[in-house]
């Protein structure tokens, strides 16, 4: 019996990557006098690597052979990332990034039904609490029994470690859990931890390989704007992803 829902954050709860993280990285680069600019297409490629600090290193190695690393490069990456987090959380507090369709509805229904909710993400903890507070509810972070985030485990998604860490913290085994992810790295991470996974795609992840997913949806859907199911088993089906629908799929 599934009674525990594990949510990825970036791309799953909200479309944070293109209009949140990406401009925040760019603002940090400018602040540090670096002429690095991540446009929408380039950022899509860089998303192959999870974790902001890891992504900066990947970019330098892959795209900036001209850049001469200073002796304190490791510290520079940490400082850049700290600045990026400050830009990002400020952005959430001022403008806000809305939750994706159906997210608030399903979280509310699951909470009312007594399900355990948890967050399982590679992003920085401050980013999660800022998003939940400003886009979900002032007490949004308290809706979740565990928030597993960031550098808590050294091996980020697609490694299963962050899911295993969260389940150990919750004291549940994988059979009681259902994960929500938007990307191939996220899906691989959850499946490797033995957790069945529902995928909602976004523009960056639509073409990923989602084999092994319970179902692949455009989004969770709302009564006035139903999801479209994208995986072969139910392609074209429309609906609203609620607890009854999840139970039927499980």
- By beta-carbon proximity to ligand XBP, the closer residue of 52 and 221 is 52
By CB under 5 A, the residues from 186 to 205 that bind Mg ion are: 186
Question: Least distance from C-beta 8 to Mg ion, angstroms?
Answer: 4
Question: Least distance from C-beta 142 to ligand XBP, angstroms?
Answer: 21
Question: Least distance from C-beta 244 to ligand XBP, angstroms?
Answer: 27
Query: Is position 26 an interface residue for ligand XBP (rule: CB under 6 A)?
Result: no
Which of 89, 127, 197, 202: binder of ligand XBP (CB under 6 A)? 127
By CB under 6 A, the residues from 132 to 161 that bind ligand XBP are: 157
| Active site positions, annotated | 8, 10
Which of 123, 197, 200, 202: binder of ligand XBP (CB under 6 A)? 123
Strand partners, 147: 119
If you write DSSP's letter for every residue of 3-68 in order, what string do you get?
Answer: -EEEE--BTTTB-HIIIIIHHHHHHHHHHTT------HHHHHHHTTS-SHHHHHHHHHHHH-TT--
Applying CB under 6 A, the site for ligand XBP has a residue count of 18
- By beta-carbon proximity to Mg ion, the closer residue of 231 and 237 is 231
Cα-based angle 104, 105, 110 (whole degrees, multiple of 5)? 100
Q: How far is CA 90 from CA 47, 51, 85, 164, in A?
A: 22, 19, 8, 31
Contact 198, 188 (CB under 8 A): no
Taking the C-alpha atoms of residue 20 and residue 96, their distance in angstroms, rounded to an integer, is 9
Using CB under 6 A as the criterion, which residues of the chain lie in contact with ligand XBP when the complex forms?
Answer: 8-11, 17, 21, 50-52, 121-124, 127, 157, 183, 185-186
């Amino acid at each position: 019996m599934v009674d525990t829902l594990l949510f990825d954050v970036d791309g799953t709860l909200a479309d944070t990557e293109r209009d949140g993280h990406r401009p925040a990285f760019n603002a940090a680069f400018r602040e540090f006098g670096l002429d690095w600019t991540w446009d929408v297409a380039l950022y899509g490629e860089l998303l192959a690597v999870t974790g902001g600090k890891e992504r900066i290193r990947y970019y330098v190695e892959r795209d900036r052979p001209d850049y001469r690393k200073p002796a304190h490069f490791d510290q520079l990456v940490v400082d850049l990332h700290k600045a990026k987090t400050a830009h990002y959380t400020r952005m959430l507090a001022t403008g806000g990034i809305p939750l994706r369709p159906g997210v608030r509805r399903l979280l509310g229904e699951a909470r009312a039904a007594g399900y355990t909710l948890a967050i399982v993400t590679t992003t920085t903890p401050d980013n999660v609490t800022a998003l939940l507070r400003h886009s979900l509810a002032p007490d949004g972070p308290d809706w979740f029994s565990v928030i597993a985030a960031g550098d808590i485990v050294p091996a980020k998604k697609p490694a299963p470690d962050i899911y295993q860490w969260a389940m150990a913290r919750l004291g549940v085994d994988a059979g009681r859990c259902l994960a929500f992810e938007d990307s191939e790295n996220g899906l691989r991470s959850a499946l490797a931890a033995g957790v069945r996974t529902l995928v909602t795609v976004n523009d960056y992840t639509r073409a990923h390989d989602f084999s092994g997913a319970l179902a692949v949806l455009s989004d969770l859907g709302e009564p006035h704007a139903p999801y479209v199911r994208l995986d072969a088993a139910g392609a074209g089906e429309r609906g609203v992803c609620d607890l009854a629908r999840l139970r039927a799929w499980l």
